[in-house]
Amino acid sequence: MIDLYTTPLGTTARTFFAVEAEKKYRVGEALLVLPSDLLVKQASCESKIQAVNFEYLPNRIVKLNRSLLQSLLPDLPQFGNLKKISRRTQELLVGDLLRQLDKLHGLDYFSKLTGKEGFIKAVTSLLGQLSRSGATQEEITNALSEWEDRNSTYALKDRELSALYNLYRSKLRAKNCYDLEGIYRLAILVLENEAAEVPWQHLYFSEFYHFDGLQRLFLRALAKHCDLGVGLLYEPKRPEIFNAVERSYGYLSGFARLQELEVAPVARSRSLQHLLTALGTGAYQQEDNAASIQFFEACDKEGELRAVLRSIKKQLQQGSVYSDFLVVLRDFNTYSGIRAICDEYGVPVTLAQSSSLGSQSLVEFLRLLLAVAEGGSEAVPAYWRLLKCSVAKLCWHFDGEKLNLLKQKNFYNKLSQLQQDVITASFAEDDALVGELEALQQLVGRVQTRATVAAYGESYLKRCSRS
């Protein structure tokens, strides 16, 4: 059975769920399911109920029902031999498959994009969205191949996308690999069987505003084995804000029991309360000083961090405490050197012990060097980023931000012309800076455009030992 609770913007059903779970269930019989690790950590500090993220559930179900899965899918390898792949591995696999398709069959629509990193990321994301739609592989293939009255150019794109999607799924099966969508499918298959083992009596879902197609199927299958309480952030009379919630609410309300939940009002400043109630309506109010809301403008991500840290530092000096502040990043992996910058401002920071290797400053510098040395269409944008990356600022003294202003005056599609104009622009500033820029360009010229990972590593280690 599913009980569906809706809560207005700025409120949560989490406290209500935690109190009910503590009263009714013993440890381990109920879980609080939240959409982010940050909320999981916060809930773990506030309540005795175990808090997990959504992805924990299908993984746990699959692990507990290995024997049942083996009987349902005799060709499935033992669970210990199943390999769950990361998003980065997915991107590498998709990039390889695109090149294979282009080489073997020719890609008329996507041929010029197969080597571009941004395109590969976008296609990987699209394949994930198709899988999470709730449709089967066969249904997706049929939809792409039998789209009526489709423009011929777009029909060509659909055929190539269908070929890539089927090749991707086949490759995963052949290698005994499963992405997150595949794990969901296995869990749903298990839950459709009455003999499935589910260790919980009640699961509480809070702070969600949307469930994708695959999650909705999973919830419905899970409800056959234990009770579910779902707290959905939704106000039916504010479609301009909650339009994205409509599909999940409509699906769940079709078979869930609708419950009313009275949430105690939260004390907020006048400006924040106005933002909460008037967001999306077009209404506004005149404020001499809305101290609760500030806007910062910066030229890059490091500038963003520094602006935020200056604001935090000022408030700390006025008596605030560190635990009053939370910094939210859209994508943690696109920001590098966070701890070093916080240390520079004397602001303690709590970060994960490990982060993506690709987000490290040195790795970014090496990747940009390779992109510039390789040439092609990616060389020019990579060179712009190379001039102002963290390692360049550390090793040389030219102003990469100022040099990037050349983009406003000229459009460059040739790396050689860009490099020459950068040198020319530096002559007006300082002859010494010209020498530093020439040193950077010489370094780019010494980079091998094709080599093994081991050879690259040995080469960079030698250069580091000489510097």
CA–CA gap between residue 129 and residue 390 (Å, rounded): 34
Structural domain boundaries, residue 333:
301-357
Task: Indicate whether 151 and 196 sit together in one domain.
Answer: no
- Of 342, 357, 372, the residue that ends a domain is 357
Q: What angle do CA 420, 422, 423 make, to 5 degrees?
A: 65
Residue 314 resides in a domain: yes
Q: Is the pLDDT of residue 360 over 70?
A: no
pLDDT tens digits for 134-189?
778 888 888 888 777 777 777 888 888 888 888 888 888 777 777 778 888 889 99
Q: Tell me how many domains the chain contains.
A: 5
105 and 143 co-located in one domain? yes
Give the CATH number for residue 27. 3.40.50.300
**Residues 215, 55: Cα–Cα separation, whole Å:** 10
Q: Are strands 227-233 and 2-7 parallel, antiparallel or unpaired?
A: parallel
Asked if the structure places residue 75 within a domain, the reply is no
pLDDT in tens, 363-408: 778 888 888 888 777 788 888 888 877 777 777 777 776 777 777 7
Residues 388 and 351 in one domain: no
17 occurs within a structural domain? yes
The token pair that represents 54 in the structure block: 């959504």
Same domain, 200 and 251: yes
| DSSP, residue by residue, 423-435 | HHHHHTT-HHHHH
Give the residue from 365, 368, 384 showing the smallest Cα distance to 467.
365
Q: In angstroms, how far is CA 212 from the centroid of its own chain? A: 15
pLDDT band at 31 (very low <50, low <70, confident <90, very high): very high
Nearest Cα to Cα of residue 309 among 291, 290, 292, 296: 296
Could you give the percent of the chain with pLDDT greater than 70? 88
Establish if 74 belongs to a structural domain. Answer: no
Residue 460: pLDDT band with limits 50, 70, 90: low
Is 378 in the same domain as 410? yes
My answer on whether 373 and 418 are in the same domain is yes
> Parallel, antiparallel, or unpaired for β 202-208 and 177-178?
unpaired
At 455 the pLDDT is: 74
Last residue of one domain, picked from the residues 259, 282, 312 = 259
pTM: 0.63
The pLDDT of residue 454 is 74
- The answer to whether residue 70 is domain-embedded is no
Quick check: is 77 in a domain?
no
Do 450 and 369 sit in the same domain of this protein?
yes
Q: Answer whether residue 76 is part of any domain.
A: no
> Do residue 386 and residue 337 come from a single domain?
no
Same domain (yes/no): 343, 368: no
Do 58 and 99 share a domain, yes or no?
no
Asked, for residue 73, whether it belongs to a domain, the answer is no
